Structure 1
Amino acid sequence: MVLLTPSTVSALISTSVIVISTVVLFLAGYKLQQNSIQNLQRHLREESQDYYANYGSPILNSRQREAIGSDGSDDIEDELPRDYLSSSGRTSRVSFDRGQSSGKKKAHVQLLNRPSTTDFCSALLYFDLLASNGSIESDHVLVYPSSIEKRMPTKDVYDILNRLRTRDVILHAVDVSGAWGRAPAESKILEAAATSLVTYDQIFYLRAPGIILSVDRLDNYFLTKPMTPEMLLKERKKFDKGKGTSAFMDLGQTWLSSRLSMSMSQLPAAFMTRRQYRADGRSTTRAYVPSAEVRRSFVVPSSKVSRFMMEDEKKRPAYAYFERDEGRRVKGNDNLYQIWRDELTRVCPGTTLDD
């Protein structure tokens, strides 16, 4: 048996008290830290939700958009309710300074990231075809780095910019000086332009440069209303379960909810954003990309457009874009490429095309 002296007992008691006090203080500090972090996160989340619910950023991912101002109900409208009341009790209107914008709620957007006369002329051709044959009332918006203007563009680029202005194309020169690489990533340019584009209820983007092969079909795709998650859930409940999930997913969906990541260098070949308003005045903005079922008949690289497809209107895609290979244009289908070049020469007479 071990005999404990009074001094040993005193030391053990003191050590135990110190250990217990240390543990209690640690747990109290940890709890206080967790509460502070949770309060900070809650505060930041509430601020960000209020901002994006009112302004609807097109660069939020789809999960964030679905969470903002949505309680799972389908009481959603495409326009702000006329009798929406603000917190002060007064009838409120969401108003934005659109700058050069005409006040239209829709926009066709193209984005360029280098001072290429061919690219700028192709954008002019794109907007000309929309203006002369399109049926949608929308703004035509061209976004490009401000460095193109600051570094004294060539006379040809300067002339094309003037032509774009005379066509009432809205030019957004954005500052992407912090972007990496000689040619800024498309996602960085879109991110810089978000504050200008956020005022639109609907945005339609196609990769540039490219050529429209059917304006009517483009309009149809643009006007096709995508299903919200709530609508999809309702349709799925109505659908015959015996046909299976794969059959349900093939019910002619044109647009699928997606995510626009600002970490990728190149944006999808086509995407659309839509803002929808709730009865309380809040709004959600979601991004959509074409579904696999319609992608082949909608927007494709020029290299995938065969002569047979060009000869058969039913097989012809609505839009074809031209790919790059180490900074140079890939011709793909020679016939389509030559048609595009001939059209560029027509809309930009006297311009030296650099590709």
Structure 2
Amino acid sequence: MVLLTSSQVSVVLSSGIVVIFTFLLFLSGYILQQKSIQSLHTQIRPQDPIQRHKPPLVEHTPDIRHQTPKRRFGNLQDRIIIQAQLSAKEEAFDWSRLAYAQLVRDHSEVCNALIFFADLKRLRSPVPRLLLFPRNWVEGSDADVLNTALETSKRLLRKASRRYRVILVPVDAVGEQDGSDPSHYSLASIFSLAQYDRVLSFPSPGLVLNSAPLDSILAFSEPSSVAFYPALNTSVALSSLLLVKPSTSIFKALSHIRASNNIPDTHLLSNFFHSAPPLLEVGEKKLYTTAEQLRTAKTFNGTAFLTDTAFLYFHDSEVPGPEFEVPYSDTVKRRPKDDDQGFLWEKMYATYKDRRYNVCGMDLETWPPPYKQEKQHIEKKVTVKKTDL
């Protein structure tokens, strides 16, 4: 029998208490770590779309493919909620047959497309992303090595593929036309993507503010061939969201018409699809807005704008594109008088400037452009000479 002194008993007890509390501390840390990991998995897991309004409980899952657009979306002023289930069977939604696609014809358009893809990745859209560009950019001659604009575009294409998981799709000019002329490339090329069921394209330049409604449109809307939102307007540049159901036969027909008549895409699409139904109901205006509509709105609610607007298109007849550095005095002249409206209007342009620098590594261009500066200089000299006379 071993007798322990009081000091030895004290050491044993204190050691036991230390071991017990160390174990409890380790156990609590392990539990917190597992909860944190589970929370991170939930946040980064790709999202799946569901209908915004729950259908009544039935014994089978209703077929959503043949419902009307109005019943699918209801009023887009409500938030479209994306959840991790599509049906009662908890089956994952297959996004592989859907895509966002942007066609760039000229080197100046590449950064705009990259900004779209950066927005979609930041908003965790699970939809595949495609970038269509002229094939001769990657199959050019040795003389193109010194082309700074081409090298910049190649750098941005590599970044799009590596950082934003964009699928690069080289395309040819329509028909047998010259591939070095940007005007010989057409949105008809999107119809050639026959491996996809539906493809959505944005007007450029713009910002994606909320990808959830756009993902839902791709998931649930099935146009016969093409649908526009808003309705296609041939008086301005192609400024509509374009939802396409790719078809090789339609692609060949559009390419033939485009090559033989050399007409712009706005007239090509509006003439070929003159009876195409609208993508959404006319009254549902919150999905899409332009910079001019934001600037000139008579009544404005900043909270509603940020909540309900999914896409902003930088079209304004009185303001240059967002890629230009406009003198602040000109900005002040056009700034809306309402404080909230003016703040958000300026913020959208500032956001684009930030995206252009951080995503593309580009500063804003000077305004007016060099060719306009030269024209203004010539006009000024003519005016001075007339004054002297």
The alignment's TM-score, normalised by the length of structure 2, stands at 0.44
Structure scoring higher RCO (CA < 8 A, sep ≥ 6) equals 1
The alignment's TM-score, normalised by the length of structure 1, stands at 0.48
More strand by share: 1
More helix by share: 2
